[in-house]
Chain A
Amino acid sequence: MLNAAYTLYEGFAEAQDGLGAFRTAARERLATTDWPHLKTEAWRYSDLKALKAEAFAPAEAADAKVPTPLVADMGQLVFVGGHFRADLSATPAFAKTLDSTDGLALGDDAPALLAALFAGHGLALDVPTGTDGGSYEIVHIAPAEGRSAHARIKVSLAEGASLTLVERFTGDTRAWSNPAMDVTVAKGASLRHLRLIEEGETTLHTGRAHVRVAGGGAYQGFGLMAGGSLTRFEAHVTIEGEEAEAGFDGVMLAGAHQSHDILTHVTHAVGGADSDQVIRAIAAGKGHASFQGKVTVAHQAQKTDANQSFKALLLDRTARANAKPELEIYADDVKCSHGATVGELDRKAFHYLTSRGIDPATARRMLVEAFMGDALVRLTDETLMETVSTIIAGWMQAHEEGAAA
């Protein structure tokens, strides 16, 4: 049974914002839904004990200092403790308060249902037909100690529209971030979606995105997990039209006691479309990185091209990585591949670099960066690559200092 502390909060249920029925449905399903545990297949790599034991009541509106944008001049859309703050944001014309449950996924596990139950002060981005919505940074500032944030964002790209979203999660409290995003990409539309987790070492994070892509549309997601104590992200992507392209790439950096978990489920409901996933993970100290990637190809989805690559690099003997690729193919004329490896730093390459005069710390950093390169190049945009590389460099430095101490 669900921790009573979560069900006590009634404020959201009473909010008059058009999401009442959605919350009620979530509430009803929660009544019969247990917390996932390590024996729940989809949650075997993320231990939610802390979430169950500590009562993270939803955060109320609060003020916060907004960090400067990662990319200069990029407009910011700000969430504090899960609530969209128009007063702190540079809101474009196509953005409005979320007031309809159309296209929102309820989810079926307790964290997803709680995200639905506490969905409040959300944001809807509706980019009109043929419009380039530009690039926006969505800043999520973690709530106060012991509180939870359930930011809800709906993104709809009409035919031929395009948009780049850089979502970043910041803050340094023992709090729980539990955001959800619902994405619809119409014919020929294109969404690039970055999720950068820079939260502090004690923050808990469980997020998910439900994405539907129509014919000729493109959704390219990228997740960077650098912060957080327990970080989990699920991307559920359904390809509904031919010549669509979809994928979720990412880099996980799990140091000290961090646990990162990416779960993707790409469904090819229609044939003639491509999906690609390139995930790289670095685990150091007692860090733990996991990838569960499932690709489903429906019976009628012929000529599907689906590829998945996961590689993990363990920097210490105490670090761990898990990979669970799954292919569920019902069509017979498809090209599907997956590869997963877990290894250590290449000693020969390390020696080659140091024997040319490169100090061991720099040599290690070069090899680690090279290892992540396959995932980073998927960002294609130089500015975005640099932005992500800077965060990675920060993590690497912190890790080296931590390892030296």
Chain B
Amino acid sequence: MSNLLDIQNLTVKVGDKQILNGLTLAMKPGEVHAIMGPNGAGKSTLASTLAGREDYDVTGGSVTFNGEDLLALEAHERAAAGVFLGFQYPVEIPGVSNLNFLRTALNSQRKIRGESEVSAAEFMKIVKEKAAGLKMDMDMLKRFVNVGFSGGEKKRNEMVQMAVLNPTLAILDETDSGLDIDALRTVSEGINAQRRDDTAILLITHYQRLLDYVRPDVIHVMAKGKIVRSGGPSLARELEERGYADVA
């Protein structure tokens, strides 16, 4: 099977600082990969770069997604192509309701893909179903995007967005951080629901904890802007016991 995501020798600068130093990573449809690593390894930079953040400067390498040059696309085109970034710090947007935001996003993606827009009624049906699955109160979705949400609610909101937008590749940047055990379980169920033969999920995490709920196929250790080691699920335990110092 061909790769869904193929990152080759990616180098990225943020400002004057070189953050990614020739990162290579490939994922096939149906796979869940986890990237672990110490602070400052460049994990979030990788996630943001894939999502198309404009102040991140790709200085070398390539990213192929579904056979397409991902780096040639603008952020909104990447989303329409099926890439979703679960933000480590979801942004608060006063004045824009969650529902308006999500419906605009869904229809904007559909428009770019040449699909017809979903009606207000269809949209509400989808959102209600997905929100219920993530134990997200519909009243919260009527409120402004993430405004007044707790850390856990923001992360669950990210998962509602993922479920509604139904991406092919979900990159989840520390979606587990700041969650209590119940919220972690709910969020994990959301991630597992998105796990299918035709999708891939890239988890970025500091902790073994999430991986007890969402079993990855491959674990990568990242340090100093590149992947320094890859292995099966047992690698997570090894890291938990011995820390990154030995491995990275």
Q: Is A92 an interface residue (CB 8 A)?
A: no
Q: Which residues of A contact B94 (CB under 8 A)?
A: 370, 373
Question: Which residues of A in the span 335-362 have a Cβ within 8 Å of any Cβ on B?
Answer: 346-349, 351-360, 362
Q: Is A38 an interface residue (CB 8 A)?
A: no
Complexed CA–CA distance, A52 and B138 (Å): 59
Complexed CA–CA distance, A351 and B48 (Å): 10
Interface class of chain A by DSSP: helix
A349 and B91 contacting across the interface, CB-CB below 8 Å: yes
Q: Is B95 an interface residue (CB 8 A)?
A: yes
A358 and B96 contacting across the interface, CB-CB below 8 Å: no
A367 and B96 contacting across the interface, CB-CB below 8 Å: yes
Q: Is A366 an interface residue (CB 8 A)?
A: yes
Question: Which residues of A in the span 363-395 have a Cβ within 8 Å of any Cβ on B?
Answer: 363, 366-367, 369-371, 373-374
B95 and A369 contacting across the interface, CB-CB below 8 Å: yes
A356 and B91 contacting across the interface, CB-CB below 8 Å: no
B104 and A362 contacting across the interface, CB-CB below 8 Å: yes
Q: Which residues of B contact A359 (CB under 8 A)?
A: 76, 108, 112
A354 and B74 contacting across the interface, CB-CB below 8 Å: yes
User: If the complex has contacts A349-B93, A366-B104, are A360 and B53 also in contact, measured as CB distance less than 8 A?
Assistant: no
Complexed CA–CA distance, A232 and B85 (Å): 46
Q: Is B79 an interface residue (CB 8 A)?
A: yes
A357 and B112 contacting across the interface, CB-CB below 8 Å: yes
B101 and A353 contacting across the interface, CB-CB below 8 Å: yes
Question: Which residues of B in the span 187-227 have a Cβ within 8 Å of any Cβ on A?
Answer: none
A354 and B76 contacting across the interface, CB-CB below 8 Å: yes
User: If the complex has contacts A351-B53, A351-B75, A352-B87, are A357 and B93 also in contact, measured as CB distance less than 8 A?
Assistant: no
CB distance from A396 to the nearest CB of B (A): 15
Q: Is B11 an interface residue (CB 8 A)?
A: no
Q: Is B51 an interface residue (CB 8 A)?
A: yes
Complexed CA–CA distance, A362 and B112 (Å): 13
Complexed CA–CA distance, A360 and B104 (Å): 12
> What are 18 A-B contacts defined by CB distance under 8 Å?
A348-B91, A349-B91, A352-B91, A353-B93, A353-B105, A354-B74, A355-B51, A355-B78, A356-B79, A356-B161, A357-B76, A357-B80, A357-B165, A359-B108, A360-B74, A362-B108, A371-B95, A374-B95
B interface residues, Cβ below 8 angstroms from A:
51-55, 74-76, 78-80, 85, 87, 90-96, 100-102, 104-106, 108-109, 112, 145, 161, 165
Known A351-B75, A351-B91; 8 more pairs at CB < 8 Å: A352-B93, A354-B75, A355-B78, A356-B109, A356-B161, A358-B108, A370-B93, A371-B95
Closest 6 pairs between A and B when the two form their complex, measured CB to CB:
A370-B95, A357-B79, A357-B109, A356-B105, A373-B95, A352-B91
